[in-house]
Amino acid sequence: MKKHDLNAVLKECKKSASAGYRIATKQQRELKNTLAEAKEEIKNTLIEFQTSQCYFSGATEMLSDQLTEISNSFDTVSFAFTEDLQNLHEKLSKFSITLFGRTMAGKSTLMEILTHGDGASIGKGAQRTTRDIRTYIWEDLEITDVPGVGAFGGEDDENVAYEAAKRSDLILFLITDDAPQAVEAECFGRLVDLGKPLICLMNVKVAMPEGKNQKLIIRDINKRFDTERLDAIRRQFLQYAQQLGQDWNSVPFVYVHLKAAYLAQQTKDRDLADGLNTVSRIDDLKNMIIEQVREKGAFYREKTFLDSISVPILRSMESLLDQSLLNSQQGRIILSKKRQLNQWKKDFHRDGKKRIESLLINIRSQLNSEIAAFAEEHYDDSKADKAWNRVIRQHDVSGQCQDLLFELEERCNSKIMEVSREITSELNYISAVSADKTLRMNHIIDEKKIWNWAAVLIGGGLSIAAAIAGLLGATVATPLGAAAVLVAGVAVVGDIFFSKRSKKEHEARKRLERKLQENVNKVCDKINKDSNDYLDALITKRMDALIMEMSRIDSVVFRLADTQRELAWKLNDHLLDLNYKTASEAMRFIGVEDSEYSIMSVARIPGTENILCLDNDRTFSEDLTKQMAELMSERISTIDRADKKEIMISRVIGNEADIRSVSIEEKIGVAHIKTENGSPYLKNKIRMAQQLTQIAITDE
């Protein structure tokens, strides 16, 4: 391609970038307003939570901190969008290509080839000296060489590399012709997840010892370029895509020998240089890069800006849905336990009263059985009251009361501990199950920016178990302090006054019996009152307070789940708008208008697939579908619009879900489906069905 032709293409690329920037900036402003509204809602929830009358230190503070952290994270999200767009805008006129590959794959060699360098950087990859980004210009294209990925302990290097990838229009991914490595495929999948178009370079490695005949070296290199062998390696690499729910078959592969290409530039022997250059196939790579830029560069530039918004929106939306579902499930667990505890409290209260009543009957019976004999023996005893107290102590009235009240308190505490263990266990279990059943695929972790938000949301949900456990533990430890006072006073007889000895012993005995009976009644009345007061205190200070706090936490959890779900669907509105614009721009580049096909909505997994929802009776030609798929490097399929969400879900997912198996809980906005398998491809279909129906979907 002639130089001036490429310049003309790059001018068109700049125009497309400007158009993409305008669209992305408009979305960014609208997103900022959406996030501000969500932040205000979280703040209101926090205020309501903090001003509640019921307060338990530890649990309350933990959930307050969680809400505050989520609220603050909205500022981080807004800043992340703004910063990413600003970084892209600073290089508006540049078509950016980023070179990815694991350490020692040949990235530095390729850089030396394209820049006609002296080889100073070759061979230093094992030392991981390429920590910083290196940028150079080739054919007016900006090439960025990033640190190698997949190195042990190279997390910081990978973060630098992926940050650069976000700003790239095209990725060159370098592998070697030895066995493909899983870590390479994982990195490749992450780049596809960003929606980035890729060219895969397979560097064929052949030893080129000094002193060996150059013709023999060229012969050895040609032998290594066995097409059947290299295609088999390519297929091995492509198989990793299935594990990620992606399809890499459309990714172009180029087989090259980078060392031969480099040596071709260094030798002064023109015949040898031509031979090495030819056998290296480096021109195939150069031509492919130029061809990609010429044919698709303008679209790639616009798409870079659109995906800088749509990719994080998709991830954030799905994180919010996951967390909303988790919080709803956790809220249901707490609600269920609260209801069980409330019923147990009623049963405990009723049983406690019966136990107190039974104790009183027993004590009354014990003491009444002593009255006649005691009166016979002490009717003329001036110290009868002290003797009667000894009788009470002999029957251990105080100990019987104390044992019962301590037993009731122990039952109360044991139940609270049991509830604590059950809630903690079930919350942790549901969190683990939710993580296993997540509909989200692998994603790039940008530790400094937007993915911190998702981490806050996910991590915050798991803290509810700890908050409940801390709350219940604090409740158990709270002493009532009434038992000792109550049982210490019940042994006092009270006022028993004896008149002077009656002239008639019979009357004296009867009088003493009446006094003793009155005393027994007073003692039992006192035991009844204090014991029931203590029981009521157990209920009020332990059970009712706990149930009230569980209600409070439950309310916050459900409120948070609702807020997360509402925000998720607001983000989804922005996502659908961006999906539609991306598809529309793709059609415009092909030369058709989207309005001709009555596209109602577009679901999209960047880098993987698009589903165009059409008005009924409208169709896409196979040729148009193929052209869009080639331009976007993503699968394209269409479905007819349906008013019922069950039908829409079934149409998106296809034969893997029977419409009769779809059940929807309208109140919480969740659909449950039964599927034949849990393949990554199916998960992507479910993700797109969520976008089109605006209902969270779980597969069973």
Residue 185: pLDDT band with limits 50, 70, 90: very high
State the pLDDT at residue 603: 97
Residue 24: pLDDT band with limits 50, 70, 90: very high
Task: Answer whether 66's CB lies under 8 Å from 49's CB.
Answer: no
Residue 160: pLDDT band with limits 50, 70, 90: confident
Query: Is pLDDT above 50 for 439?
Result: no
Higher pLDDT, 661 or 348: 348
State the pLDDT at residue 700: 67
Token pair for residue 61? 């503070």
CA distance 69 to 61: 12
3-state secondary structure of 102: strand
| DSSP letter assigned to residue 695 | S
Token pair for residue 24? 């992305």
Residue 1: pLDDT band with limits 50, 70, 90: very low
Structure confidence by residue, pLDDT tens digits, 93-137: 899 999 998 888 888 899 999 988 766 666 554 444 445 688 999
Q: Terminal CA-to-CA distance of the chain, rounded, Å?
A: 54
How far is CA 495 from each of CA 222, 380, 383, 389, rounded to the nearest angstrom? 117, 17, 13, 12
Q: Which strands form 599-605's sheet, in the order they lie side by side?
A: 599-605, 609-614, 635-640
Q: Give the number of other Cβ atoms within 10 Å of residue 507's Cβ.
A: 12
Residue 290: pLDDT band with limits 50, 70, 90: very high
State the pLDDT at residue 583: 95
Q: Which strands form 96-101's sheet, in the order they lie side by side?
A: 134-138, 141-145, 96-101, 170-176, 198-203, 253-256
How far is CA 474 from each of CA 304, 348, 416, 478, 541, rounded to the nearest angstrom? 53, 21, 10, 6, 12
Query: In this structure, is the dihedral angle defined by the CA atoms of residues 172, 253, 293 and 284, taken in order, positive or negative?
Result: positive
- Beta strand 170-176 pairing with 198-203: parallel
- Beta strand 134-138 pairing with 141-145: antiparallel
Bridge partners (DSSP) listed for residue 202: 175, 255
* Closest-CA residue to 564 (of 556, 576, 574): 556
CA distance 472 to 441: 36
Q: Give the number of other Cβ atoms within 10 Å of residue 19's Cβ.
A: 17
Higher pLDDT, 170 or 65: 170
State the pLDDT at residue 56: 52
Task: Answer whether 672's CB lies under 8 Å from 700's CB.
Answer: yes
CA distance 119 to 4: 30
Structure confidence by residue, pLDDT tens digits, 512-544: 889 899 989 998 999 999 999 999 999 998 889
Token pair for residue 649? 């879900």
What mean pLDDT do residues 470-482 have?
60
State the pLDDT at residue 118: 66
Instruction: Indicate the burial class of 479 (C-beta count within 10 angstroms; 0-12, 13-18, 19 or more).
Output: exposed
Q: Give the number of other Cβ atoms within 10 Å of residue 8's Cβ.
A: 12
CA angle, 157 then 159 then 163, to 5°: 120
What mean pLDDT do residues 475-496 have?
48
Query: Is pLDDT above 70 for 592?
Result: yes
Tokens 């012969």 sit on residue: 219
Instruction: Indicate the burial class of 82 (C-beta count within 10 angstroms; 0-12, 13-18, 19 or more).
Output: middle
What mean pLDDT do residues 133-143 have?
91
* Backbone region of residue 67 per phi and psi (left: phi > 0; alpha: psi in -120 to 50; beta: other values): alpha
What mean pLDDT do residues 156-160 have?
74
Across the chain, mean pLDDT equals 83
Beta-sheet strands, E only, within 140-206? 141-145, 170-176, 198-203
Residue 680: pLDDT band with limits 50, 70, 90: confident
